[in-house]
Amino acid sequence: MKKHIPNLFTSLNLLCGCLAILFVVSGDLVIASLLVIIGMFFDFFDGLAARLLHVQSEIGKQLDSLADMVSFGVVPGLVMFQLLNKAIAPQALETGFENVKIIKGLASGMSFIPFIGMLIIVASAFRLAKFNIDIRQTNSFIGLPTPANTLLIISLPLIFQFQYTAFIESVIFNQWFLIGVTIISSFLLNAELPLFALKFKTWDLAANKIRYVFIAICILATLLLKFIAIPFIILLYILMSLIWKE
pTM over 0.85: yes
pLDDT at residue 101, rounded to an integer: 44
Q: What is the pLDDT of residues 123-179, one digit of tens each?
A: 999 999 998 888 787 778 999 999 999 999 999 999 999 999 999 999 999 999 999
Question: For residue 90, what pLDDT is reported?
Answer: 63
Whole-number mean pLDDT of the chain? 86
- 62 — pLDDT class (breaks 50, 70, 90): confident
**Which domains, from first to last, does the chain contain?**
2-194 (1.20.120.1760)
The average pLDDT across 55-64 equals 80
Q: What is the 3-state secondary structure (H, E, C) of 138-187?
A: CCEEECCCHHHHHHHHHHHHHHHHHCCCHHHHHHHCCHHHHHHHHHHHHH
226 pLDDT higher than 50: yes
Q: What residues pair up with 196 in beta bridges, in sequence order?
A: 140
According to the model, what pLDDT value does residue 205 have?
74
pLDDT beyond 90 at 104: no
CB count within 10 Å of CB 133 equals: 7
Report, as an integer, the average pLDDT of 10-22. 95
